[in-house]
Amino acid sequence: GSKEFDRGSQNSKGSSSIKFFQLFEVLGDELFPQIVTGDESWVHHYTPETKRQSMSWIGAGEKAPRKFKTQNSAGKVMLTVFWDMEGILLEDYLEKGMTINATYYCELLKKLRRAIENKRRGKLSRGVLLIHDNARPHVAAETKACLDSFAWEIFSHPPYSPDLAPSDFHLFPYLKAELGGVHFESLDNVKEAVHSFFINQPKDFYTRGIRKLASRYQICLDRGGDYVEK
């Protein structure tokens, strides 16, 4: 069955960092191709620009353009995405008002397994190390049973640690920056924009995101298990 690293109360950033480097010591660079990571994020029909995006050049004597109060629009969709160092494996969209429960998440994991089988020949037999956070649907008994049947290894993600989740520190910030300031008319337009962002990234974009885990866990260790981004 799947081996769960770092059980119980030891599920802290420090012990996760140590577990990561124990794995790295055994597998070396072979660790990174085994990693599959996934996460959820709301994507809004309108996401305000970041401060950097909304800065504009002002000529001498010109007035700065009026800044309107910006906020996320009411239209939104829950994006779940799984990826590895070669690119996106699965993207899923759940409309506002619906929630991800264990049953829904298990169905997604089954789709993910099929996607790996189809898109990454030999990856399943070489072994999959799944990194996902400990949101309730991810750690439910139903989900654990599903993952046990796949015989995947699950790397325990420390609670409240977006700084150690590749989707949070790498994928989503770039995606949100890309969508910033764009108004989408419909859910389909949002999906198209997200999908085209994903497929237009070079493979190196995904490789860097996964490889950054080593430096982030190192910083975490150096800081005695403290938050990476101060």
The predicted pLDDT at position 9 comes to 29
Please indicate whether residue 137 or residue 68 has the higher confidence score (pLDDT). Answer: 137
Report the alpha-carbon distance of residue 15 to residue 27 in Å, rounded.
18
List, in sequence order, every residue forming a beta bridge with 77; answer none if it has no partner. Answer: 43, 95
Q: What percent of the chain has pLDDT over 70?
A: 82
The predicted pLDDT at position 46 comes to 80
The predicted pLDDT at position 227 comes to 63
For the cut 80, the answer to whether the pLDDT of residue 11 exceeds it is no
Query: pTM for the complete prediction?
Result: 0.83
The predicted pLDDT at position 98 comes to 83
Q: Which of 37-51, 158-172, 180-194 has the lowest mean pLDDT?
A: 37-51
Residue 74: Cβ within 10 Å count: 9
The stretch 83-97 carries a mean pLDDT of 93
The predicted pLDDT at position 12 comes to 76
The stretch 56-76 carries a mean pLDDT of 52
Please indicate whether residue 65 or residue 110 has the higher confidence score (pLDDT). Answer: 110
Sheet containing strand 35-44, strands side by side:
87-95, 76-84, 35-44, 129-132, 153-156
- Summary mean pLDDT of the chain: 84
Report the alpha-carbon distance of residue 48 to residue 30 in Å, rounded.
40
What confidence tier does 211 reach under pLDDT thresholds 50, 70, 90?
A: very high
Please indicate whether residue 80 or residue 53 has the higher confidence score (pLDDT). Answer: 80
DSSP assignment of 18-85: HHHHHHHHHHGGGHHHHEEEEEEEEEESBBPPPHHHH-----TTPPPPPPPP----S-EEEEEEEEET
CA 173, 179, 180, 184 torsion-angle sign: negative
For the cut 80, the answer to whether the pLDDT of residue 60 exceeds it is no
The stretch 177-191 carries a mean pLDDT of 91
The predicted pLDDT at position 54 comes to 43
List, in sequence order, every residue forming a beta bridge with 83; answer none if it has no partner. Answer: 37, 88
The predicted pLDDT at position 75 comes to 85
What confidence tier does 173 reach under pLDDT thresholds 50, 70, 90?
A: very high
Please indicate whether residue 186 or residue 109 has the higher confidence score (pLDDT). Answer: 109
